[in-house]
Structures are given as C-alpha cells and as structure tokens.
Amino acid sequence: MSHRITATLLAGAALFVVSAAPTLAQQAPANEVEALRAQVQALMARIDKLEKAPSTPAGPPASKDAPLVSADVFKAPQVTQSGNGKIKLMLSGQIGRAVQYADDGFDNDTMFVNNSQGSTRIRVAGTAKLDDNWTAGSDIEFETSSGSSRTTGFGTDAGAFSVNERKAEFWVQHKSFGRLWVGQGDTATNVTSEVDLSGTATLISHNDIGSLFGGVLFRNKANRAAGPNINTVFNNFDGLSRDDRIRYDTPTFGGGFMLSTSFIEGGATDFAGRYTGKIGTTEVSGAIGYVDNDSRTGFDTQTNGSLSVKFANGFNVTAAGGTRDIGPRDSDFWYGKLGYLANVTGLGNSSFVVDYLVQKDLAIAGGDAKAWSVGYVQTVDAFATDFYISYRNHSYDTRTTQYKDINGLISGARVRF
C-alpha cells in the first residue's frame, strides 16, 4: 500500500511539472527547460519502479525484540563469519550423551555418561587460500567431560565439569609438496588402529574397549575382591593419539596412498602410511603405524594397523592388530568386526555390527582379556542425529586369578551441528 501512495504522489508531481513546462519554457532559458525535462524523466522512471515492486501488507509496528532476520532466511545455507575477512571460518561440534547399565557378576549399576568415543565437543576451523597451490588453516577443538564413559564406575560421582584440549594447531599446505602441521593435534599414527567403514566406530563396537564401561572394576570370582578396571586391561595401541607435535603429510599419490611422520613433545617420533580408495565397487581403507617412544615412559616401541572393506551390497569387514614393547614383555591385540550398512528405514543409514577382540599381557604378564559386542546405529538425517544401542561382554583372567565377566548395555544419541 505504501508503494501505491508514493507512486500517486510522484505521479501528481510529474503531471504538475509537465503541465507547467510550456509556461516555464516561455519564461526560462533553454538550459533550464532541459533540466525540467530531465526531472520529469527521473520522476516517471521512479514511478515505474515503484509500480513493479511487491506491496507489503500493513501491520503493527515492529517490537524491539523482533528478530533482525526473518525466519525464512534460515532456510538458506548458513555462513559463519570470521573477524578477519580473509579467513573462511567453520563452526561445528556435537553433543554425545548416553545411559550405561553394567553388571560385574555381583552388583550392577546404571550410569549417565558422556560417551567418550563420540564425546561432546566444539570445533572452530579456519582456512585461507593464497592461490591455486597454497592453502593455510587453523583448528581449535575442545571436548567437554562430565561423567566420561571411560572413567565412570559403580557409584562414581560424575564429578566437576571440565574441558579437555583436543586440538590447537595451524597448518600450511602446497598441492604438490604436502601439508605441515604445528601445534596440539593428531600425531601421524593417530587413528591407524581405528580405520573402520562400518558406520559404528565413532560410537559403539569399537576396538578401544575402555572407551565404554572403562571405569567398571572386575571382581574376583573367589572372594568378590575388586580387581583392575576395564580401561586398564584393554588398549588398541592407536599410535600416539593427539599431542604437541610437528607433523608432515605427503600429497596423496598412487590412487589413494599417503605417508605421514611427526615429531612429538618429549622426544617420540612416529611414521604412518594410509590408503583410501575403491577396487571396482568395493571401498577399501587401511593404515599402518610405527612409534618410537624414545625417552617417554609407558613403552618403548609399537607397531599397529587396521583395514576395513565395504562391499557395494552394504556388508563390511574390519580387522585391526598391534604389538607393543613394554620392556620386560610384549603385549598384543587382535580385533575383527562384521557389519551391514544400508538405508533400510528411509530415515538414514542403519548399521548392524558384531565384533570380537583379544588382548594379551597388557596390565601384567599372563593377563588375558577378551571382549565381544553386538550393536545397532540408526542415523536420522533430518535431525543430524545418530541413535545407538549396544551390548558388550568383557572377560579377564590372569595366571593366578579368575574374574567374573562384566556385561554392559549402552544406549544414547549423538547430535551433530
């Protein structure tokens, strides 16, 4: 309506100027007549523009609490702006919470936990491009911990809220020469034991057994005495995790291969090779790592790796293994998983898995730990959420002591943003 009123007023002004133009032309010089004609043309152009503009219905005055952007705008892809216009910024993260029930053979408990495998975290990543060859970036990622599933046991208080530094790094990359990373972040060997195409490894049915139910204690069969916890007797030797380091990655070559090395605070070094590609319609991904822990405590050297294959029909198999030199003895683990992944519900991918792991001589010589599980993950694309449920059995014995099995059930969700 306001457009029409404005157009009417402008039309009246234009008519006045047109009607007065002959009289004014007789009294004014030629240059003034040309100026009047220009005014008329400008007025007529504006009238035409207003007539074509969509009308806005009248309404009450906007509240001071009204949003600055209409709701319809949020249907478009979102953009996070950087304080530096030269940097492209991305904000992402997830919420990962779960309920655990465990039975140690004598007692049981229900625990409300932060799934340490798919933990609650927030990440800010920035990238900048110099030209077609050079790119640089930075990464800051924090993990919140409140009742971690790795440390929570029977009757354990969730404890105070804390924040764990996962990444605080920058990197520079050349298309032909590779990428150099500096700061706190993934070492070259991180995730070399955890390559997995089943769609479940970041939540359940994972070879890092201690990440779920890790704080629950084994109980001596004979006298009910408490023994070691689950996290103590299992370890997947997954490289050197994240640490303060300098890391170098080669460009991808040979159809999917990449090599990496890093030099870590405290003197350790590691080396890794990775492959990701397709053989026909079959997806293949694998990694192998070697660590020289140098003067750092815990162990001397370790070698580990994993391989995962996913067929076009959705069936997948994963295997992993490793050995660690811990001074007076070596410790080994072997892991296998069979899975099926497909969109059977129409909501998103459904992943079904069964897995099995054996660990030898980790906590003490002669310690024999085993674990197996079945699990299901349902992704709901519309919610950007993964729902899951899994049952796992843990067993542990030594040369002198037998312990009751620990059985656990976990169910929860991860919301991604």
What pLDDT band is residue 156 in, cutting at 50, 70 and 90? confident
Domain 78-133+145-162+188-242+249-416 belongs in CATH node 3.40.980.10:
no
Q: Where are the domains of the chain?
A: 2-52, 78-133+145-162+188-242+249-416
pLDDT of residue 144: 87
Rounded CA gap, 369 and 244, in Å?
A: 32
Nearby residues of 184 by Cβ (< 8 Å), 6 or more positions away: 165, 166, 167, 168, 169, 242, 243, 244, 245
Q: What is the mean pLDDT of the chain?
A: 86
Q: Apex CA 150: angle with CA 318 and CA 110, to 5°?
A: 105
Instruction: State which H helix or E strand residue 46 sits in.
Output: helix 30-52
pLDDT of residue 46: 60
Q: Which residues pair with 414 in a beta bridge?
A: 96, 386
Percentage of the chain surpassing pLDDT 70? 80
Rounded CA gap, 272 and 265, in Å?
A: 18
pLDDT higher at 163 or 98: 98
Residue 111 has phi, psi (to 5 degrees) of -125, 140
pLDDT of residue 75: 41
- Using the predicted structure, report yes or no on whether residue 385 has a pLDDT greater than 70: yes
Nearby residues of 58 by Cβ (< 8 Å), 6 or more positions away: 1, 2
Instruction: State which H helix or E strand residue 230 sits in.
Output: helix 230-233
DSSP assignment letter at 69? S
Residue type, 120: T
Q: What is the pLDDT of residues 230-267, one digit of tens each?
A: 999 999 999 999 999 999 999 999 999 999 999 998 89
Q: What is the pLDDT of residues 17-54, one digit of tens each?
A: 444 444 444 444 555 556 656 665 665 666 565 555 55
**CB hemisphere CA count around 252 (13 angstroms):** 6
Residue type, 156: T
CA atoms 115, 287, 164, 299: torsion sign: positive
- Using the predicted structure, report yes or no on whether residue 382 has a pLDDT greater than 70: yes
pLDDT of residue 296: 83
Rounded CA gap, 330 and 321, in Å?
A: 13
